[in-house]
Amino acid sequence: MNRKLLGLGLGIAMSTFGVVAVPTMAFADSTCYTGCSAPGDGGTTPAPAPVQPVSAPVAPTQAPASGGLAFTGADIEGMAAVGAGALVVGGVLVRRSRRHRQATA
């Protein structure tokens, strides 16, 4: 019983830490976004703009319209199928363990 309570308390503490502390560490520095200098001088003077080489103009090409949503690169169907399968397997295991517990009690 003590191990269960210890594990439960540790799980709650780690979950709370993950929800509260980790996002506060992930905020970006709002003092400087573009044109900042190196970190050594305190970030007060703007850095010089980079010199762009001059090149001949290029005629723009138009991509064919697909008419659908843009491809984002994520394979959502596979992740959704794995998640749904995990929910089904978890539900079956919980139901089986409850039936087993009732039969032995």
Q: Is 82 helix (H, G, I), strand (E, B) or coil?
A: helix
Please write the tens of the pLDDT for every residue from 24-43.
655 666 666 666 666 655 54
**CA gap 61, 81 in Å, rounded:** 39
**CA gap 46, 38 in Å, rounded:** 9
How many Cβ atoms are within 10 Å of 37's Cβ, its own excluded? 14
R_g over Cα of the chain: 28
| pLDDT tens series, the chain, 105 aa | 688 888 888 888 888 877 776 666 556 666 666 666 666 555 455 556 666 777 777 777 776 666 666 666 667 888 889 999 999 999 999 999 998 888 887
Cβ-contact 47, 35 below 8 angstroms: yes
Residue 32's nearest CA partner among 17, 42, 24 is 42
Measured CA to CA in angstroms, residue 101 lies from 30, 45, 97 at distances of 56, 70, 6
